[in-house]
Structure 1
Amino acid sequence: MARDYVWIEGVPFPTTTSRDLRSLRDEFVARDEDVIVVSYPKSGTNWILEIVHLIHTRGDPSWVQSVVSWKRSPWIESPAGLELIRKQKDPRVYTSHLPIQLFPKSLFTSKAKCVYIMRNPRDIVVSGYHFWKAIKVTKNPDSLEEYFEWFLQGNVPFGSWFDHVGGWLQLRGKENFLLISYEELHQDLRASVEKVSQFLGTELSPGELDSVLKNVTFQAMKDNKMSNFSLVPDTIMDHSKAHFMRKGIVGDWKNQLTVAQTEAFDKVYREKMAGHPPGLFPWE
């Protein structure tokens, strides 16, 4: 049976999220060696994580093929994930969908490296609908039309996309913050991997880079049960309703949203994103 949300400071979360996020925000200590991947859900999180993990192993795929993704990079907002993070040895790699106002404050005074991946929110609407309808730890939409309305209202897990992206963009330009987009990865994967490896301070040899690229294709990840989320417990996800890795393409929203929905979305988008510099978002 689908559940509702956990509401924390006006933001809805899946019921697997820690209800003690305020303590996490004040007490968790980010270390200078940490690498943190942050995103709004369905922005390409799994893809950028796989890239980070393979850069970490210099292209050796044995780690990503033997340990499930959520144990390689635990979720800080999950009690189980937080416990794993506390046991990790440096350099720790972990991930989060938290909005910036609920993220541990220590990040902002540390040298920890933060990678933020973003994606065209229209594609996130479509991808999110197909994903959240199968998740048992949060409220499920009955239709794309219903989810579309929820999304515009911010009544979806982790709240408003507009607020989430707008919040994290405050760190743009900081030395230890990398902004990258799902669209960039699609347009030039090699250049994107080089960009991430340079940010992380890891210089890959041509052979190591080729191995990373080989193992982060959509098909390679879809075929890897440690990365395709097929091992997510049935208590959390109904695998008969959706596959975590569905299409992995750019622009599918054009096939899914109606003209009226597109116009309604564009109106809200213009209002919410006014003031951001032109050219910042590759989908514009």
Structure 2
Amino acid sequence: MENGTETTDIIIVGYPKSGNTWITRLVAELVGCPVVGFLNSDHHEIAREGLERESNFRCYKSHHQVYELDEIDIKSKKIIYVLRDPRDICLSGSAYFVIERWPFLGRLFSDYPKMYRIYKGINKLIISRSKYRIKRMAEAIIYGSREVHWWVRVSWAAHYKPYLEKNTFFVKYEDLLSNTKEECERIIDFLGIQRTDAQINAAIEKQSFKNKKKEFLKKGQQKKANFLRTGRKEQWREGLPLQQKKMFEEMLNTELIQFGYPTEKE
């Protein structure tokens, strides 16, 4: 890092379960900078890595709404918004969040970590099974629900639209999967840096789902490996019940068409 040069914070923001963790790591790998953590929080962020890297940039992961970012004192920042098909967000979120049918049970065990872990397993397998969790997650994406999680207290549309209105730099998760190199070139151009084809390809290879999972498993970091799941697009075709498919197409039809997301008939 050059002395006297101001550090620029790269903020990778998006609705929860939009692929923020992968893309934050990928951007940091392209830039050669650290992933410091979750913006404005001291919790142990799973995306955090590369703290030894020296750079005039640093990356943060974020799920903040646009007005919340405006309220955080950041001298120099570049924001990248991650957009993902809300139906795939629904499946990923229903598997990740502790979605409870009877939240008071969770509160009873919350002060006892071992008991709470057992409760979470029972909740997922018996009390709040997949179909129920998907239903609740779909409602959170469409209407917002702080009961599911604080970061989904607003709907998906209410989260992304203010960023779009401010002409924030957008990347689609699906485009990064399908045209990774081209999208990486867009990102580095937006950041105002230069990278060779070899550097871009090396960053993509290192941060691929397959190689990253292999790295985590080799280090015994099972939680980080599990967090990545599969990374595939259009999982909703097989994973979403018909009721939720119809719900998304009815309530978010305009957005699905606007961003080029396929419908069940396509």
State the TM-score, normalizing by the size of structure 2. Answer: 0.69
The answer to whether 1:245 aligns with 2:211 is: no
Aligned length: 220
Task: Check conservation: 2:88, 2:234, Cα contact below 8 A.
Answer: yes
What SS class does the counterpart of residue 18 from structure 2 fall into?
Answer: coil
Per the TM alignment, residue 162 of structure 1 is displaced from its structure 2 partner at its CA by: 2.0
Instruction: Tell me the equivalent position of 1:121.
Output: 86
Query: Which residue in 2 is equivalent to 1:13?
Result: none
Does residue 1:215 correspond to 2:181, yes or no? no
Partner residue in 2 for 1:75: 38
Aligned to 1:43, the other structure's residue is in SS state coil
1:98 to 34, 46, 64: 64
8 Å Cα contact 1:229-1:244 kept in structure 2: no
**Pairwise CA distance, 1:55:** 1.2
Write the deviation string for residues 112-168 of structure 1: whole angstroms up to 9, x where unpaired. 210111100000100111111499989976133323332324223212222112232
Q: Partners in 1 of 2:28 and 2:222 — Cα distance?
A: 19
Q: What is aligned with 1:161?
A: 156
Q: 1: distance between equivalents of 2:8 and 2:170?
A: 19
State the partner residue of 1:33. Answer: 8
Q: Which runs of 5+ in 2 are unaligned?
A: 1-5, 49-53, 101-105, 111-115
Distance 1:46 1:145 in 2: 26
Which residue matches 2:185?
194
Q: Quick check: 2:81–2:170 contact (8 Å CA) kept in 1?
A: yes
Q: CA deviation at 1:52?
A: 1.0
- List structure 1 segments (4+ residues) > 6 angstroms apart after TM superposition: 134-141
Q: Which residue of 2 aligns with 1:45?
A: 20
In 2 relative to 1, CA 73–221 (structure 1 residues): closer, same or farther, beyond 3 Å?
same
Greater length-normalized contact order (CA 8 Å, ≥ 6 residues apart): 1
Q: Is the alpha carbon distance of 1:210 and 1:134 closer, same or farther for their aligned partners in structure 2, counting shifts above 3 Å?
A: farther
Q: 1:279 to 1:204 in 2, by over 3 A?
A: farther
Specify the SS of the correspondent of 2:176.
helix
**What is the alpha-carbon distance in structure 2 between the residues aligned to residue 200 and residue 268 of structure 1?**
35
- Could you tell me how far apart the structure 2 residues matched to 1:167 and 1:191 are? 26
Q: How has the CA–CA distance of structure 1 residues 200 and 81 changed in structure 2, closer, same or farther, with 3 Å as cutoff?
A: farther
Q: Which of the residues 218, 222, 242 maps onto 1:259? A: 242
- Structure 2 residue 194 is matched with structure 1 residue 203: yes
CA-atom RMSD in angstroms: 3.6
Kept in 2: contact 1:126–1:144 (CA 8 A): no
Distance 1:90 1:204, change over 3 A: closer
In terms of mean alpha carbon deviation, does 38-47 or 93-102 score higher?
93-102
Identity in percent: 23
1:106 Cα offset (Å): 5.4
Distance 1:80 1:132 in 2: 17
Query: In structure 2, how many angstroms separate the alpha carbons of the residues matched to 1:209 and 1:252?
Result: 28
| Alignment partner of 1:148 is 2:126 | no
Report if the CA contact (8 A) 2:209-2:231 is conserved.
yes
**Preserved contact between residue 37 and residue 96 of structure 1 (Cα < 8 Å):** yes
User: SS state of the match for residue 169, structure 1?
Assistant: helix
SS in 2 for 1:125: helix
Task: Compute the displacement of 1:201 (Å).
Answer: 1.4
Residue 29 of structure 2, aligned match among 35, 54, 68:
54
Structure 1 stretches of 5 or more lacking a match?
A: 1-30, 58-62, 64-70, 233-238
Q: CA deviation at 1:192?
A: 0.9
Larger Rg: 2
Q: Please point out which of 235, 257, 260 is paired with 1:282.
A: 260
Tell me the distance in 2 between the aligned counterparts of 1:230 and 1:36. 25
In structure 2, distance between residues paired with 1:50 and 1:37: 10
TM-score, normalised relative to structure 1:
0.65
Q: Determine helix, strand or coil for the equivalent of 1:102.
A: helix
